[in-house]
Amino acid sequence: MIAHLSGTLLAKQATSVILDVGGVGYEVTIPVSTFYDMEEAGAQIQLRIYTHVREDALQLFGFKTARERELFMLLILVSGIGPKSGIAMLSGMSADEIINAIRTNNLARLTSIPGVGRKTAERLVIELRDKMAALTSPALEEEIAAQAARAPQSDDALREDALSALVNLGYQRAMAEKAVTQAMAEGGGLSVELLLRRSLRTLSKG
Query: pLDDT of 116-164, one tens digit each?
Result: 888 888 999 989 988 887 776 555 555 545 555 555 567 787 888 888 8
Domain with residues 155-205, CATH architecture = Orthogonal Bundle (1.10)
pLDDT of residue 139: 57
What fold is seen in the domain 4-63? OB fold (Dihydrolipoamide Acetyltransferase, E2P) (2.40.50)
The amino acid at residue 191 is S
Query: pLDDT of 35-70, one tens digit each?
Result: 888 899 999 999 999 999 888 888 999 998 888 899
28 Cβ neighbours under 8 A, 6+ residues apart: 5, 16, 17, 18, 19, 47, 49, 60, 61, 62
The ranges assigned to domains in the chain are 4-63, 66-150, 155-205
The two domains 66-150 and 155-205 share their CATH topology (first three levels equal)? no
User: What's the mean pLDDT when you consider all of the chain?
Assistant: 84
169 Cβ neighbours under 8 A, 6+ residues apart: 119, 122, 123, 126
Among residues 66, 16, 32, which one has the least CA distance to residue 46? 66
CATH superfamily of 66-150: 5' to 3' exonuclease, C-terminal subdomain (1.10.150.20)
Residue range 77-97: mean pLDDT, rounded: 86
- The answer to whether the CB of 176 falls within 8 A of the CB of 199 is yes
pLDDT of residue 153: 63
pLDDT of residue 197: 78
pLDDT of residue 160: 85
pLDDT of residue 199: 86
pLDDT of residue 109: 85
Distance CA 38, CA 46 (A): 10
With 90 as the cut, is the pLDDT of residue 7 above it?
yes
Give this prediction's pTM. Answer: 0.66
pLDDT of residue 134: 78
